[in-house]
Structures are given as structure tokens and as C-alpha cells.
Amino acid sequence: MKRTVLVLFCGIIAAYSAFVVKKDIVPALNSSMVFPSSRFCIIDAGHGGFDGGAVAFDGTLEKDLNLQMAKKLNDILILNGYQTVMIRQEDISVEEAGDTHKKKGDIRKRFKIAETYPDALFISIHQNSYKQSNSEGTQVFYGSKNPKSLLLAEAVQDAVKNGLQIKNRRTTKKAGNNLYLLSHMENVSIMVECGFISNKNELAKLKDEEYQQKLMLRVFEGIEKYYEREGMCSG
């Protein structure tokens, strides 16, 4: 009898430890309990905390727009029965305590989260900036390791163009070595450069909550198209 109790106790401790360890490695998994789905996205709000990303002429920081949009995309996905993981849900960088090089540690942690969920699509949200202030329009970069990343990028780029930016002539672009995450991970991965915060008119749109919602709905539409073409149904 005593042994049974001990085994049970150890079992509980082991299960609890597994949960704690996993929770320490990755952020909480969000999912709709009503429609458990095989459609699964990691949403990476670019930059955060000490790393503001690009800065607009009016002081707007890229990291803040990235997070606002990432949260909107997360809500849309959850409402549609997706499982999601958000790399960050507030204005923080995600390096481990004790990482001496914060930026490297931050990238390492994002990479580790992607590795933890190899079947999830990795969707990174960023804003662009360029010295020519008339540059505008969404552009989607795709991961170079998994050939399916191109299909996802094409689906998202088309959905944004057709649904929101009919004059956008930009095409998808393969991630170079300068984009560490996309050029190293095995996940199907894209980085959505939502628009140029160096363009006054586009910045006004990118800061507008309604426009952010419209843009993220188009990104979602692209993700849906990708899954449809891959023949994966939810549920």
C-alpha cells in the first residue's frame, strides 16, 4: 500500500516537473478548446524590450507596431480554431536570464521555440524602413530551409495584394543569411514586412488599428490558402 502511494506521488512530481520545465522553455500554448486543430502557428512579434527595431520620423517604434499586429493575428487564428504560440505578448526581449549577449540570446530563444514545435508555421511580423521615403507596400520573405515556406509566402503575398494593396508590385523574397531565424530553422517560415514606417502615408496606415486588422485578416487568408493547398483540414 505504501509503495503504491509512493509511486503515485513520484508520478505526480514527475508530471509536474515536466510541465514546469516545458513551461520554462516555451511560452504558453493558446488554443481553442472547442475546435482542437492541426493548424498551428508560432507568431513572432519582431524585436521587443531593449531592441526597438526601426524608428519612424515621429518616434514610432517598430517593436510596438509588430506587437499590436501580432496580437491581432493571434486573436484571428484562435477564433478560427488554430493553435498558436506567441513568442512575446508584451514589450520584452526573450533571452534567458544570464545570457551575456542579449541580442544573440533573444534570437537563440526564438529559434528554440520554433524547434520545439517543428510542425507549426513560423510567422514573423516586422515593419520595413528605407532611406527612400516613397517606398511602400507589404513584402513577404520566406525561410530558405523548408521548400514549403515559399508556398506560404506566395499565398500571403497574394492575399495582401489582392485584398488590400492592389497597386503593390512587390514579390516574395528568399531570406538571406542576414535573417538568421528564417535561414536556419526547419519550420515552414515567413517574415511579413508589413509596410514602410519610413513612408509618412504608409506609417499613418500602419498605426491605424482598423488597417492593422484588415492587414492581419489578409495574412490569415494567406495562411488558410496555404493549408487548403497542402490538403490539411482543421479538426
C-alpha distances (whole Å) from 130 to each of 135, 168, 193 are: 7, 16, 12
Q: Which stretch binds Zn ion (CB under 5 A): 41-49, 114-122, 130-138, 139-147?
A: 41-49
Distance of closest approach, residue 18 Cβ to Zn ion, in angstroms: 35
Query: Does the footprint of Zn ion cover residue 137 (CB under 5 A)?
Result: no
The site that binds Zn ion (CB under 5 A) totals a number of residues, namely 3
Query: Does the footprint of Zn ion cover residue 46 (CB under 5 A)?
Result: yes
Q: Which of 126, 161, 205, 218 binds Zn ion (CB under 5 A)?
A: 126
Q: C-alpha angle with apex 162: 168 to 176, nearest 5 degrees?
A: 55
Residue 42 contacts residue 115 (beta carbons within 8 Å): no
Query: Does the footprint of Zn ion cover residue 53 (CB under 5 A)?
Result: yes
For the chain, state the CA radius of gyration. 19
Which bin fits 98, alpha (ψ -120 to 50), beta or left (φ > 0)?
left
Distance of closest approach, residue 206 Cβ to Zn ion, in angstroms: 13
Cell of 78: 484562435
Q: Which stretch binds Zn ion (CB under 5 A): 119-127, 130-138, 146-154, 204-212?
A: 119-127
Nearer to Zn ion, 147 or 176 (CB): 176
Name the closest residue to Zn ion (Cβ).
126
Query: Does the footprint of Zn ion cover residue 48 (CB under 5 A)?
Result: no
Nearer to Zn ion, 39 or 71 (CB): 71
**What sign for the dihedral angle of Cα 37, 41, 45, 48?**
positive
Nearer to Zn ion, 114 or 151 (CB): 114
3-state secondary structure (DSSP) of residue 54: coil
Nearer to Zn ion, 43 or 151 (CB): 43
Query: Does the footprint of Zn ion cover residue 218 (CB under 5 A)?
Result: no
Distance of closest approach, residue 201 Cβ to Zn ion, in angstroms: 20
Helix (H) / strand (E) element for 212: namely helix 209-230
Tell how strand 139-142 and strand 173-174 pair up.
parallel
Residues forming contacts to Zn ion in the complex (CB under 5 A) are 46, 53, 126
